[in-house]
Amino acid sequence: MAYSATFKDHLAKPRHAGELVDANAIAESTNPVCGDRLRMTLRVSDKRITGVGFLAYGCPPTLVCGSALSAAIEGVTVQEALNITKRDLLDLIGGLPSRKHHAAALAIETLRTAIESSCSEILP
């Protein structure tokens, strides 16, 4: 399948690319199978995500999933962010070939790890 216009737009203009200096929820995950890596830095205040940054090493779907997920969670509550599924993310970017679904799984896992591994006061 061909990549969607949304996919290409995220690839050309990644949203929230970079490392957040004042983050209080951070995670970096590696896909053990293919070695793709995603790092997310979040600033959470009053149970709401007020800042997001991501860094990615991997194929374009990994970069795009990092970008699209970052854009989706800025401004939402921590609970709303935790409710986002791999399928939601795939829909957001207009789908991926099945062999690239691991990129969406890595992004969701990284977000959840960032939230869950951080201090308890940010959890819902």
Site for another protein, rule CB under 8 A: 8, 11-22, 28, 33-39, 43, 50-51, 53, 55-60, 62-63, 99-100
Beta carbons of 117 and 79 less than 8 angstroms apart: no
Q: Compare residues 58 and 108 and give the one whose CB is closer to another protein.
A: 58
Residue position matching structure tokens 């995670």 = 27
Q: Compare residues 83 and 117 and give the one whose CB is closer to another protein.
A: 117
**C-alpha pair distances (Å), 25 with each of 47, 109, 110:** 12, 14, 11
Q: Compare residues 61 and 84 and give the one whose CB is closer to another protein.
A: 61
* Sign of the dihedral through C-alpha 71, 14, 44, 113: positive
CB of 32 to another protein, least distance (A): 10
